[in-house]
Amino acid sequence: MKNYILKDENAVYYECGFSCDNEIYLRLGEESIFITDGRYSVEAAEKLKHTQIVKARDVVAEAAKLLQKYRIKKLHFDPNDFTVAEYDKLKNSKYTHFEAAPDFSKKRRIIKTAKEIKLLKEAARLGEEAFAQFAAYIRRHGLNQNEKRLFFECSARLSNFGQYPLSFEPIVAINENAAKPHALPTDTELKIGSLILVDAGLKHERYCSDRTRVSEYSNDLNFDKKGQSFLSSKRQKVYDTVLKAQEAAIRASKPGVRACDIDKAARDVIDKAGFGKYFVHSTGHGVGLDIHELPVISSKSETIIEENMVFTIEPGIYLPGEFGVRIEDMVKIAATRAVVL
């Protein structure tokens, strides 16, 4: 790919080590051009060597002008990265044929470098620590608090009181709300014996963590994966099934297998326990600068797993109106197996 254009912040950061919230990055053969407005152009010039900085109010219109000026004949772009209105502006460059290359930046980022893995590992470690702190908070103060407050307190621990950005808005869901994979916080309160699901992550030097744990409220609630015990045998069976499915999928993850085989390893366990129709999403997704990257770990994904991919393994069972369980970790693919980060 000789000539391409990027707008997505993380894609641009990956490309050149800098980004801001209004930018276009153009790679035209050997030439790199970073277009941004007056709020960021000084900082961009300081941080970016061997890159031409162009200051413009309308960065997309400016890109079109430059493509026209340099008479660029063919340019790759990601059709997920531009709106129809932006694309119409780009097409003002009459010389240029725009070649759609869906997810080309994400495809490039699918294998992580040693440096990236180090950052992801540290993000996961900080995430784990934050879960322990949130558990401690719940033990002391969680009783009778609503999901909205617990969502806030979870965000507080994950961000270490503002020191880290979050990977995404945490999910803190009690009982039947946990049966919604993407639950929003409500006024439902935590009671003795309530099931609580927490899905949360933070960004360490821009790299995301992602983790889900489920527990039942008591004085000694914790977010360990093993040893969770539940009052009802149904909850216990669902939890144990999801855990077994997650472990099976982690064991199935290694170089050379197809992503769909990993999904199948988890799905088989859940099917066999009779909960197949309640596992309503795919088994995992890549994690990096974006919280959702490649590979997709689903029943349809033929991607061959390779060393130094990093993705989540997160099977779940969702019983509408009752409760839901999901258990999620990030794994890194080593030479012969997956290592939990």
Q: Which residues bind a second copy (CB under 8 A)?
A: 21, 38-39, 42, 77, 79-85, 87-88, 100, 102, 148-153, 155-156, 159, 161-163, 180-182, 185, 280, 320
Select 13 or 152, whichever has its Cβ closest to a second copy: 152
Question: How far does the chain reach from its first CA to its final CA, in angstroms?
Answer: 33
CB 128, min distance to a second copy, A? 20
Single-letter code of the amino acid located at 177: N
Kindly state the smallest distance separating residue 80's Cβ from a second copy, in Å: 5
Whether the Cβ atoms of residue 257 and residue 305 lie closer than 8 Å to each other: yes
Most distant pair of Cα atoms in the chain: their distance? 70
Give min distance, CB of 39 to a second copy, in A.
Answer: 6
Contact 299/231 with Cβ under 8 angstroms? no
Closer residue to a second copy (CB): 152 or 217? 152
Residue 75 dihedral angles phi and psi, to the nearest 5°: -140, 130
State how far the Cα of 185 lies from the Cα of 164, in Å rounded to an integer.
Answer: 21
Assigned token pair, 2: 């000789």
Nearer to a second copy, 153 or 210 (CB): 153
Select 91 or 337, whichever has its Cβ closest to a second copy.
91
Q: Are 309 and 295 in contact (CB under 8 A)?
A: yes
- Angle (nearest 5°) at CA 257 between 251 and 261: 70
Closest approach of Cβ 198 to a second copy, in Å?
Answer: 14
Distances in whole angstroms, Cα of residue 252 to Cα of each of 210, 265, 330, 333: 20, 7, 14, 11
Closest approach, Cβ 224 to a second copy, in A, equals 25
Taking the least distance from each CB to a second copy, the nearer of 296 and 305 is 296
**Closest distance to a second copy from the beta carbon of 233 (Å):** 27
Which residue lies nearer to a second copy by CB, 13 or 240?
13
